């Protein structure tokens, strides 16, 4: 079954509304992510690159960034939906942010044909990272 163009446009408009509200409350995959996989993505120097800028509870990682807030306590400071939005596209919160948009949805209708600008992280990876960040409670 194929979605009609109108349905796709409507879906992206709804995403836009969620963004405007400072959160993406719904899981991008419709399911909960895996926190253990999320931790691996965050700590990985090739995939997430999060530790280029952030530090966090990763005793095994010797070099961690100091350009951004420590990730400890992220699950207390933010709701799941707020974290999701910050990973998907931080520029929605702070247009001048240096944090990359890991799963930008904006403009997909224009970029379309071969999903030219593939997102850095897949929807599943975003959910895994969000699940991991939700475990950071101190």
Contact positions toward ligand HEC, by CB under 6 A? 42, 48-50, 52-54, 67-69, 71, 74, 77, 83, 86-87, 90, 94, 97-100, 102, 129, 133
Distance CA 48, CA 84 (A): 14
How far does CA 50 lie from the centroid of its chain?
11
Instruction: Give min distance, CB of 18 to ligand HEC, in A.
Output: 17
Instruction: Give min distance, CB of 41 to ligand HEC, in A.
Output: 7
Distance CA 72, CA 70 (A): 6
Tell me whether residue 2 or residue 63 sits nearer to ligand HEC (CB atom): 63
Distance CA 93, CA 19 (A): 9
């Amino acid at each position: 079954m194929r979605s009609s163009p109108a349905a796709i446009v409507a879906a992206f408009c709804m995403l836009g509304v969620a963004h405007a509200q400072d959160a993406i409350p719904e899981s991008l995959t419709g399911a909960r992510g895996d926190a253990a996989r999320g931790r691996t993505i965050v700590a990985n120097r090739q995939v997430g690159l999060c530790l280029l800028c952030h530090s966090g509870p990763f005793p095994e990682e010797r070099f961690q960034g100091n350009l951004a807030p420590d990730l400890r306590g992220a699950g207390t400071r933010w709701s799941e939906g707020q974290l999701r939005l910050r990973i998907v596209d931080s520029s929605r919160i702070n247009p001048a942010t240096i944090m990359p948009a890991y799963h930008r949805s904006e403009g997909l209708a224009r970029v379309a044909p071969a999903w030219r600008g593939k997102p850095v992280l897949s929807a599943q990876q975003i959910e895994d990272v969000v699940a991991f960040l939700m475990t950071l409670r101190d």
